[in-house]
Structure 1
Amino acid sequence: MFKSYLTTAWRNIRKNKVFSFINVIGLSIGMAACLLILQYVNFELSYDRFNTNIGDLYRVYNDRYQNGKLIQHGTITYSGIGQAMQNDYPEVIAHARVEPFGNEIVTFEKRQFGDQLMIAADNSFLSMFSFPMLAGDNRTALADPHTIVISASAANRYFGVKDNDVASALGKAIIVGNDSTPYKITGVFRDVPENSHLEFELIASYITLYSGKKAWKESDYDFKDSDFWHYVQLKHGTDYKALQAKFGAFSDRYFQGNKVSGSVEKFYLQPLARTHLYSDFEYEIGKTGSATVVWGLLIIALFIIVIAWVNYINLSTARSTERAREVGVRKVIGAERGQLIRQFLTESFLINLFALVLGLALMFILQPAFNTLIGHKLSFSYLLQRSIGGYSVTVGILVLVLAGVFVSGFYPAFVLSSFRPILVLKGKFSSSKGGILLRKGLVIGQFAITVILIVGSLVVYRQIRFMNRQELGMNIDQMLMVKPPTLTQWDSTFISRTNSMIHELKQIPGVVGAATSWQPMGGETGRDFDIRRVDQDNTVHYTMRQNGISFGFLPLYKIKVLAGRDYTYTDFNPDFGKLHNIILNESAIKLLGFTSPQEAIGKAIMRGNRQWDVVGVINDYHQKSLRYPVEPTLLLPAYGTYSTISVKVNTTDMPSTIKAIKKTYDTFFAGNYFDYYFLDAHYNEQYANDQLFGKAFSIFAGFAIFIACLGLLGLSLFATAQRTKEIGVRKVLGASVGNIVLLLSRDFIILVMVAFVIASPLAWMIMHRWLQDFAYRIDIEWWVFGFAGLLAVTIALATISFQAIRAAMASPVKALRSE
């Protein structure tokens, strides 16, 4: 019986080649796009799920309030927090502090390795997290000062050992940064998976920070110096929200309101599984993605596949009149309704099977381009990765696909099998009003989705373009950023040596200027929490961002001095305690209550327990992306061994210029590792998730629109075929080609316009919500909807017109004979 169903289904598919082709192509494109998107979604949702304790691991974050306002929302907090939580709450069974060193220089036997990603962590870190040790004991590897564990790749890089011989790296010693004390290698771990929000190749023992000659005592157990990250492990089955509700008392106990830190502290827990996608935190050390991108693309994937299934339903039910006699004859000779339903479901299954095979082929063809778009090397295997709820996403999608195949096949089967044979064979069959209304509703739904996608693409594109073109209050074009000379020890000659290097750099052809700063543009800067005016109520404290800059920094970046002056050489001093002049930005003087930049000049402010004199006021500039507002900022006249060197270049011979810059750098800071990057690329990395969303949104929206057009083309072909005689009669009576095209197009265009009316408010609500994530954003103007509606009508008209014009220009004699 099943063989008979397959044979009949195959014959029907071959008989109706055009409609079968439209169905298969639409479904295959939908499936390919859906599978590609699901790879990315499953990969993003799989972050950190390799950890055995994933359900019990949390990171601590805190909000800081000053004068009733939120001044910091970040994962950075005090060194004593984790230990205090474990002491106070039995639900906390372990904690680990993490201090990111960033990109360090590792030296082994006079060989240097730059940009080695390193963190320091408590000994408990390796037991809480699942980073398997290939050699060494994870229970004791980080128990002693100046011990370190490294990745298998790092072991191969430094010592040439292979995976089967990593144990030979144990006991070897390496120099990290400018620390003269070697670090002993006590373990080698398997390389950190790509889907880990924490990235590192080396883990130094945390105890090193607060032991030895250069002890950083605040890193031991402190509630004043906020520069540390905490992870806690809760007792299995603990309701973390119930525990979190107790943290109000925790804050009162350790911070006494704002007496200890100068701000009100509120602590929270974030499940480790959410750290990658749900991060709106400052001072983020993890690798972050965007939940908006992931869920947005998943919704588009569902839109695409639903549009493809709608096409199948529409075309199958629209062709019901052609198959009515087939059903009538089958019923007369004894076919039961169940048999007919199975027959049509088999046909649906066969078309979907063809589409799936073709869709998989398309997926493999498009995979390289898709991987380039998202910046990951994904493959079909990523659909099988464990993500939220185990494998529920993959299983859920498979169930959804099977359900979609069944539903898209079942409804046409139900309709076709319900025909009454007597009426059909007498020629009295006609399409039901319910079926016609359903098809119209489905077309409206398809194009409502199309309009939403067009509006969404326009808004995303305009917002990204707005951010890229917005004036930053500074100039970052052609700025080469040289990594700081971190291996150099600070001494009284460092400032003069840096100034001499800058002078020499300016002599290089193609170099316009140079300067240094503690933090580069586009990077997170530190905060001062205890700023106040000398001439006002000293009980009112303010918070500002801070950065240390060298002589010539402001003109190099074309930052304007609005009042007062820039720094001169006499403002700088190797003894930081002797510095007293300071420059503020516009937001800072407004925060302090000055009515104009000129009023602030000559005034004194307190920074902690020291008085500083305001000598200059500069324009606001965007240190970070336009997702964030400009913050009150103070600039200190300060150099540092960790200051990045900005070099403005203007040359077509970049290799020679960089070679000359390196030679000058090596002359003044011999023994350091020379490396560089371009600031504009670094700054724009802040928009990586938004740019990915914009590109992916537009591309897959295009797929959805194309599939919708395929369905519309199929319906127009059928509508034209159904009205062949009418078209012939109208032409004989004098109807023009334009009249015929309008006749055939009018009903479809009305449906598209109804879709536009329904979709516009939905599109506005969705995109308005998306724009709320940006401090600086565009307005959604009326013309965006007008353009989207016009484009949707144009696309629909172009799709329909081809067949309509062809029918209108056909010979009326042939049309009348067709009856």
Structure 2
Amino acid sequence: MIKSYFKIFLRNLNKNPSYTLINIFGLAVGMASSILIFMFVQHELSYDQYHEKSDRIFRVSRAWYNQDGAVSLHLGHAAPPFGPLLKSDFEDQVEEVVRLMNTSVIIREEDNVFKEDRLFFADPSVFDVFSWEMLEGNPQNALSFPDGLVISASMAKKYFGEEDPMGRTLELRVGSNVFNGLVRGVMADIPDNSHFQADFLASMEPVVNFYGGYEAMMTNFGSNNFATYLLLKEGVNPNAIIDQLPDFVDRHIPANGQGIPASLGTQLFLWPLTDIHLHSNLDSEVEPNSNIEYVYIYGAIAIFILLIACINFMNLATARSAKRALEVGLRKVMGADRQLLVKQFMGETTLMSIFALLVALLLVWLTLPMFSSFTGKALSLNLVDHPEYLAGFVVLVIFVGLIAGSYPSLFLSGFQPANVLKGTYKIGSIHEKLRSFLVIGQFAISIVLIVAVMVVIGQLDFMKNKDLGFDKEEIAILPAFVEFSSNYALMRDRLMQHPGIEEVAISSRIPSGRLLDSQGAQAELDGNLTPINTRISDIHISHTFMQVFGMEILEGRDFDFNMAADSTQSFILNESAVRAIGWTSPAAAIDKQFNYGSRRGQVIGVVKDFHFESLHQPISPMVFMVPDSRFNQVAVKLSKDHREETLAYLREEWLAMRPDYPLEITFVADKFDEQYLEEEKIGTVFGFFAGLAVLISVLGLFGLTAYATEQRIKEIGIRKVLGASSWNIVLLLGKDFLTLVLIGFVIALPMAWFGMSQWLGNFAYSISVSWVVMAIAGFLALLIAAITVSSQSFRAALVNPVDTFKKE
């Protein structure tokens, strides 16, 4: 039987090569797109599944609440005491706990100096929780030694080449702290489908010393820098722990001065390890995660494109039904029943799907390197590493065969042999309407994708060009260090000698970063000092910070070098902080008493609201102060002229000031743009696959138009003899198809508006889905359809009627 299907397929290919090739190529493009997307989706869903105990590993997160119960901050990190306390308090449920603290480090090995960003201080239990392969050394005690250091295979090769790294020493500098790490283990590189990557694991002992000893560390609930993971015992329901976490918090953190339990202000949560990558986008993460919404979007695009390809097949198969009507009639006269004919046509479709799959795999093989580079995922078509792909291909062929072949097979097998052989067979109106409905569906999907592309591009343009409330251009960022901070005035004067440098400032955080630091506040309200229950983020700055960024002081004044009190008891608030506190206006805040943390003082100025974080987040209440510590970054305002010359000067000065620290210069504008890379990828994906969807739809429309023109060639000849112009013929043939596209546009409008409005809801500040975007998308679809239809219509209209009648 399969041999028979193959012969019929080859016969049809020989008789109708353009029809067969359009079908195969359309299906192949749809399959290739789906395969690429589903490979990406499968990779996204596989994160952290490789750990043997992944179903029992949970990460601890910590949230803070305002007085009204709203979450003001939710970190994917926790304070150092929580891990050990959870293990001791829930010893019947928790098998093991591990804490990791990520930091940047300067590593010296003999004369080589490198800056590394993937060093984690870790508890010795890290290898009991995570299934990372140890190539050399003992995983049980490698990090038990104060100088213990485990490095990845890649780092072993980078630092030691082909030499044995075991027992070698690396000098590690974290900030102003320098210590030696002895390589006591080499582990395999962590798989890329992990929610964070580690190149170095170091003993937790230096961190304990930094906190002032174990006792001091175990009483510090304010330093939330530790990624904390629990390994539950087998059979333990995590809800048994989750339900007791409020009591756990109150047990270990005392109530505030007003007697309010700690659990009303802060709370702990448990996240399944395998959910982190797609479901956790908290205010702090070890590394940026993806989003389950994007998986749904990619999956929907794959299904849409596959459906468009299948619709093409159905349309072309049913449109050319008259060509096979006689074949069906003769088969039925010879004794074939409908069931046998359905099997035949489904078999032909499945065989065509197999050929399409082979072409699709070729397209995937050609485009996979580019797609992998674009997504940043190590995707592979290797069936040995991914045997599940083979099953996926089988399912894909069956799916396409069923969807694309079901209606044509039922339709073709339903011909009545008597009507066919007498020549009185006509396609019913219900089938014509169904085919029209399928064309409408094709273009509705294509228009939705076109709208999506335009909205994403518009939102990206909005985010990149929106006035942030300060000047983000030409501001270079350098890492601060103790010598620079403690001698800031001298260092600033030294840098300001270059004419290309307009101003220099230092601060704890720089716009484009996250606002993660805060302390308790009190403010003067109605003559009384009142606790403020809204979180106000703090930024430690030098006196010149506002000048570097061009921020506008609405009321009061900026910090002044010549006023000593500005460094000890003065604050500047933003407008959002003024409103959160309850003052009626920025002017009303000036000279009011304000306490923040351990600092007592008054408000000297109010700065106009500006976007410190990305447009994903609303503007937060902020307080600025000039302390003598906690400066992490240097901001240098460059003049627009001689930029490269000024950067070269900065590198020379940096080398003179800090020769042992590699310099990385970044720019605030670039850091803001980096926060929208995911949206840029979405826009590119939408654009690429929307183009493919339109291409497949055009292929189908091209085939349908060619067939409709062929069926009406005699009518066209008669109309031309009676005086119809070529333009009249084009309108006659094209109006029906363009009407279907127009109906598809009307159907697509609410779908596109709803879908993109939901996506824009992820941003605190966004554009709206305007009618202009809808109109442009509809016009583009109509234009593309018009060009496709008219190309065939003009060919038919230009045929000499004499030639037509000769053929007839």
Taking structure 1 as the reference length, what is the TM-score of the superposition? 0.92
Q: Number of aligned pairs?
A: 800
Are residues 217 and 705 of structure 1, via their aligned partners in 2, closer, same or farther at CA, if it must alter by over 3 Å?
Answer: farther
Moved more, 743-752 or 462-471: 743-752
- The residue number in structure 2 matching 1:413 is 409
- The residue number in structure 2 matching 1:93 is 95
- The residue number in structure 1 matching 2:799 is 810
Letter in 2 for 1:43: H
Matched, 1:555 2:547: yes
- The residue number in structure 2 matching 1:483 is 479
- The residue number in structure 2 matching 1:174 is 171
Are residues 616 and 138 of structure 1, via their aligned partners in 2, closer, same or farther at CA, if it must alter by over 3 Å?
Answer: same
In the aligned structure 2, how far is the partner of 1:594 from the partner of 1:631? 16
* Deviation string, structure 1 residues 599-622 (Cα, Å, up to 9, x no partner): 222222111243122222212221
Deviation at 1:126, TM superposition (A): 1.8
In the aligned structure 1, how far is the partner of 2:462 from the partner of 2:383? 35
Letter in 1 for 2:195: H
C-alpha contact (below 8 Å) 2:353/2:400 kept by paired residues = no
The residue matched to 2:266 in structure 1 has which SS? strand
In the aligned structure 2, how far is the partner of 1:383 from the partner of 1:569? 67
Deviation at 1:670, TM superposition (A): 4.5
Letter in 1 for 2:199: E
- The residue number in structure 2 matching 1:516 is 506
- Aligned ranges 1:600-611 → 2 under 5 Å: 600-611=589-600
The residue matched to 1:284 in structure 2 has which SS? coil
* Deviation string, structure 1 residues 29-88 (Cα, Å, up to 9, x no partner): 212222222232222222222211111111112321121232112213222222333333
Deviation at 1:539, TM superposition (A): 4.0
In the aligned structure 2, how far is the partner of 1:769 from the partner of 1:786? 20
Moved more, 46-55 or 205-214: 205-214
C-alpha contact (below 8 Å) 2:357/2:397 kept by paired residues = no
The residue matched to 1:95 in structure 2 has which SS? strand
* Deviation string, structure 1 residues 447-482 (Cα, Å, up to 9, x no partner): 221121122122211111111111111112122222
Are residues 173 and 373 of structure 1, via their aligned partners in 2, closer, same or farther at CA, if it must alter by over 3 Å?
Answer: closer
- The residue number in structure 2 matching 1:772 is 761
The residue matched to 1:503 in structure 2 has which SS? helix
Deviation at 1:396, TM superposition (A): 5.5
The residue matched to 2:530 in structure 1 has which SS? coil
* Deviation string, structure 1 residues 128-156 (Cα, Å, up to 9, x no partner): 01221112222222223342222122222
- Aligned ranges 1:433-512 → 2 under 5 Å: 433-485=429-481, 488=482, 495=485, 497-512=487-502
- Aligned ranges 1:340-489 → 2 under 5 Å: 340-381=341-382, 385=386, 395=391, 398-485=394-481, 488=482
Deviation at 1:16, TM superposition (A): 0.4
Letter in 2 for 1:743: L
* Deviation string, structure 1 residues 525-568 (Cα, Å, up to 9, x no partner): 33223111144353443321111112322111111122222222
C-alpha contact (below 8 Å) 1:627/1:775 kept by paired residues = yes
Matched, 1:688 2:690: no
Match of 1:596 among 561, 567, 585: 585
Are residues 508 and 377 of structure 1, via their aligned partners in 2, closer, same or farther at CA, if it must alter by over 3 Å?
Answer: farther
- The residue number in structure 2 matching 1:746 is 735
In the aligned structure 1, how far is the partner of 2:313 from the partner of 2:384? 26
- The residue number in structure 2 matching 1:46 is 46
Deviation at 1:323, TM superposition (A): 0.9
Matched, 1:35 2:35: yes
In the aligned structure 2, how far is the partner of 1:570 from the partner of 1:228? 40
* Deviation string, structure 1 residues 255-284 (Cα, Å, up to 9, x no partner): 466547596223221111121122230021
* Deviation string, structure 1 residues 192-211 (Cα, Å, up to 9, x no partner): 22221112211222243224
Deviation at 1:692, TM superposition (A): 0.7
Unaligned stretches of 5+ in structure 2?
A: none
Letter in 1 for 2:472: I
In the aligned structure 1, how far is the partner of 2:261 from the partner of 2:99? 21
In the aligned structure 2, how far is the partner of 1:626 from the partner of 1:581? 29
Taking structure 2 as the reference length, what is the TM-score of the superposition? 0.93
Are residues 483 and 225 of structure 1, via their aligned partners in 2, closer, same or farther at CA, if it must alter by over 3 Å?
Answer: closer
Deviation at 1:315, TM superposition (A): 0.5
In the aligned structure 2, how far is the partner of 1:282 from the partner of 1:419? 64
Are residues 312 and 804 of structure 1, via their aligned partners in 2, closer, same or farther at CA, if it must alter by over 3 Å?
Answer: same
Are residues 639 and 108 of structure 1, via their aligned partners in 2, closer, same or farther at CA, if it must alter by over 3 Å?
Answer: farther
Are residues 579 and 216 of structure 1, via their aligned partners in 2, closer, same or farther at CA, if it must alter by over 3 Å?
Answer: farther
Are residues 725 and 340 of structure 1, via their aligned partners in 2, closer, same or farther at CA, if it must alter by over 3 Å?
Answer: same
Matched, 1:567 2:559: yes
- Aligned ranges 1:706-725 → 2 under 5 Å: 706-725=695-714
Letter in 2 for 1:158: Y
In the aligned structure 1, how far is the partner of 2:610 from the partner of 2:214? 33
In the aligned structure 2, how far is the partner of 1:181 from the partner of 1:311? 67
Deviation at 1:716, TM superposition (A): 1.2
Are residues 670 and 567 of structure 1, via their aligned partners in 2, closer, same or farther at CA, if it must alter by over 3 Å?
Answer: farther
In the aligned structure 1, how far is the partner of 2:693 from the partner of 2:458? 21
In the aligned structure 2, how far is the partner of 1:307 from the partner of 1:622? 42
- The residue number in structure 2 matching 1:13 is 13
The residue matched to 1:527 in structure 2 has which SS? coil
* Deviation string, structure 1 residues 686-710 (Cα, Å, up to 9, x no partner): 1111111111111111111110111
Are residues 706 and 237 of structure 1, via their aligned partners in 2, closer, same or farther at CA, if it must alter by over 3 Å?
Answer: farther
Are residues 105 and 214 of structure 1, via their aligned partners in 2, closer, same or farther at CA, if it must alter by over 3 Å?
Answer: farther
Deviation at 1:188, TM superposition (A): 1.6
The residue matched to 1:180 in structure 2 has which SS? strand
C-alpha contact (below 8 Å) 1:315/1:715 kept by paired residues = yes
C-alpha contact (below 8 Å) 1:311/1:711 kept by paired residues = yes
Deviation at 1:12, TM superposition (A): 0.9
- Aligned ranges 1:188-337 → 2 under 5 Å: 188-211=186-209, 214-215=212-213, 218-241=216-239, 243-255=241-253, 259=260, 264-337=265-338
Kindly, what percent of the aligned residue pairs are identical?
34
The residue matched to 1:683 in structure 2 has which SS? helix
Match of 2:533 among 527, 533, 541: 541
Deviation at 1:519, TM superposition (A): 1.7
Letter in 2 for 1:626: L
C-alpha contact (below 8 Å) 2:383/2:390 kept by paired residues = no
